[in-house]
A and B are shown apart, each in its own frame.
Chain A
Amino acid sequence: MIRPSEETIKRALRALLGAVLAGLAILLLLFVLSMLFIPKNNTARDGIIDQKANGILGEPGNTIDVLFVGDSEVLSAFSPLEIWGEYGFTSYDCAMKGHRMPDRYSLLLQATENQKPKVVVIETHDCYSPFTPGMAFIRSVQDALPVLEYHDRWKSLTFADVTEEPDATWTDDLKGFYLNTDVEPANDEGHMAPTDEVEKLAIMNRWYLKMMIDHCRKIGAEPVLVSSPSTYNWNTARHNGIVEFAKGANVEYIDLNVEPTKVDIDWETDTRDGGDHLNLYGAVKVSDWIGKYLCETYGLPDHREDPKYQAWNVALERYEELTD
């Protein structure tokens, strides 16, 4: 075997050192750029992606009792102000349309940085939404280096981006809820027909769900799995899959599609897109049911008379104007 000359070894080491230093320089510069590019407030004008979901970051610290996390099913089914008006505890829809579990987990971590919810309701629909390891990887890298997510902000950078610290002052009047009164009836024939079939969770989805549950327990919140009513997205095989998972993870599971926890949805009037998502009328029914259940089961406090929460009463007034 020919031994490489000293000069060759030297050159190789120098190149290796160059590559390592270049890699470190890229990381360091990305870190610096991240500080510059990260939106300095939680509004779309400041560059935040999905202002509505990020409204949770603007809520005063430790004021939210319940977080609803998930995808578009959450923001169509749970109306925090409906719950506030009826039961007096605070909640927030921490969800984005087309959310995948890594995004959901990331938002949960951010939301619980300054909130200590008593209950975290994890909607189960996107437990079955597929995602690739690449998507999970990208989410993690974007969380560590926000410039990768907010790189397009070079178009709107100002001097304030250099001097200001990131903050979150904006809150959503509807507390993340998507108010929609469209009606497109659904055919619910055969919906939740009995079967022994079990749709198992994919490994990555199971892993992320477990991490979310563990995080909830770590911060002292009770995790509850909830399947919101949907003829399009939910079926008995999925129900069975979550029942099996919930048993293994020792976590409570409520399926609002089946007895005894079924919410009486009228599929002629309570859905906006043929059974995929609920509209306001369906959301009112679901919010009433879940509000009552959480209030009774977890003894959530009534803040309606508390002067610290008067902003919620003001928001409720505006909500009632919109929904009347």
Chain B
Amino acid sequence: MNSYFSLAFNLILLPCTIIVYCLAPRKARFAVLLAASYVFFWCLSGALIVFILISTATVYACGRQMSSLLLRRDELLAEVSSGKKQIKKDCKRRMRYVLIVGAVLNFAMLFTLKYLGFFSASASSLLAFFGFEVPEITATIGVPIGISFYTLMAVSYLVDVYRETVEADSNIGHVALFLAFFPQIMEGPICRYGQTAKALYAGDPVKLGNMYRGVLRILYGMAKKIVVADRLNAFVDNVFTDYSSFDGGIIALAAVLYTIELYCDFSGTMDIAVGIARIFNVNLPENFRQPFFSRTSSEFWMRWHITLGTWFKDYVYYPISLSKPCKTLTSKARKRFGNRYGPLLVSSIALFVVWFFNGLWHGAGSQYLLFGMYYFVMIFLGGLIEPLASAIAEELHINRGGMPYRVFQNLRTLFVIFAGEMLFRATSAADGLTMLGTAISDFTIESFSQGTVFMIGVDPYDFAIVVLVLLAMLVIGVIKERGGDPCESIAQQNDVVKWGVLVFIALFIIVFGAYGPNYTPVEPMYAQF
């Protein structure tokens, strides 16, 4: 069992969990989910499960500590008539210490297991440049599955308890399940305690409607991953591994196909996570909202990996931009650069921090840092040139609300997205920049007209299937964009249509899935982050 796509998961763990969950008394159902989650975690990471147990214990203990501080504060407030402000301040200060201890412990584990090697190697190279020989430190114990996801969830829980937006849970099992819930442990979504915890331990019965909707969503996700992402893997892999052998046209196509592959892999896995959770009556937050319909880079990040974006917004961007030093800086900047550019320049500090850590979160590699900085520049520039763009549009009498301009914005954003994903997928920042340069300077359609495009691992039939599924996804996307819910619409049809759709999707995956000796499936990409 190595992913949500393995037979052991789909034929043993998931069905057994559902059956045992249904048979268990309501109060014990969360324990069934927790046991299944730890079995899954163990299968993927073995003894590294100890790290999520440590995270759970520290987060639980810190949460309880903050809770008792709040309790003590309330008692004191009830006892005294004056000095209430000081009591609250003292309590907040102590809670902050606890929060810092909990967050540092969890981030320290993440840093040691995931980033130590990268930073050590970078520091070692830098020191070597100045003539100091320092040996590299490498962590050899491995990285537990989903550490980047559950660490952010752990810290968000602590911050929410600190902010008093959620109450610290008195049951360590509840906290454990919140962090380790098996459908989300591999690739998220990054949930907040207030979003899912109650539903997780409520032990609601498995309802037929939820079961159908869950299975339908799971199959949709599998179709995206197995039919599209796995099919494109060979092409993407061949081009990115040996990009110097290909012309700019092929490299540009590889960037487009990689973006599609990544989307189908990641959003497909999210569909599966949401579908499985739905079976247990747990509504996980959506991570994607038709990202390719975006008209700007910042809109794209409000539609792509939404839970990561909102995590950074709530726990990094706002705390920095609303901090005292930033506020002071904003008023000074406002005086100097005016009401538009002043705040924009100051908020770019928070934006920079967000995108530095966003890049780093994706992996310990220079290409990820470049990816983060790329979006920082794009979003910052977007804000900076907006008045200019507006003025030019007015001068040229362009209707910015009209369809042609929206299409232009959409195409422009797609270009930014494809270029960004090229940097992201490249084996290093230098390779990414070289590929981007080749795609622009050596762009040619020769490989397409000569047919060599079909000799890189994806034949014309494969392309046809990819286009077919993408068209179906486009239709579904348009319906969703207009407020519809295709899954719900199908679930409300008569039995023949309902079951017919399931049978059709299952057979479609079996026949057109890219599995077997002719294909190499995509490694679950986001599981590595």
Contact = CB atoms under 8 A, between A and B. Distances in A.
B8 A134 contact: yes
Interface stretch (B177-185, B364-372, B501-509): B501-509
Q: Give the secondary structure class of B's interface.
A: helix
Contacts of A21: 499
B495 A49 contact: no
Contacts of A151: 510-513, 515-516
A33 B512 CA distance: 12
A12 interface: yes
Interface in B305-355: none
B499 A18 contact: yes
Contact of B507 (A26, A49, A138, A152): A26
A49 B517 contact: yes
B295 interface: no
Nearest to B215: A19
A30 B507 contact: yes
Contact of B7 (A26, A134, A147): A134
A154 B513 CA distance: 11
A154 B7 contact: no
Contact of A29 (B212, B502, B507, B516): B507
A155 B513 CA distance: 12
A162 to B, nearest CB: 16
Nearest to A152: B518
A15 interface: yes
Given A138-B7, A151-B516, A30 B510 contact: yes
Q: Which bucket holds chain A's interface residue count?
A: 20 to 34
A25 interface: yes
A202 interface: no
A147 B508 CA distance: 12
Given A26-B506, A152-B516, A18 B495 contact: yes
A14 interface: yes
A207 interface: no
Interface string A130-147: 000010011000000001
B500 to A, nearest CB: 8
B7 A29 contact: no
Interface string B1-22: 0000011100100000000000
Contacts of B511: 33, 147, 151, 154
A26 B52 CA distance: 40
A149 interface: yes
Interface string A33-44: 100000000000
Contact of B212 (A15, A49, A134, A155): A15
A11 interface: yes
Contacts of B164: none
A14 B510 contact: no
B208 A11 contact: yes
A144 to B, nearest CB: 14
A18 B494 CA distance: 11
A134 B7 CA distance: 7
Which of A19, A33, A147 has the most B CB atoms < 10 Å from its CB?
Answer: A19
A137 B498 CA distance: 30
Nearest to A12: B208
12 contacts: A15-B212, A18-B495, A19-B499, A25-B503, A30-B507, A30-B510, A134-B6, A138-B7, A147-B511, A151-B510, A151-B513, A152-B518
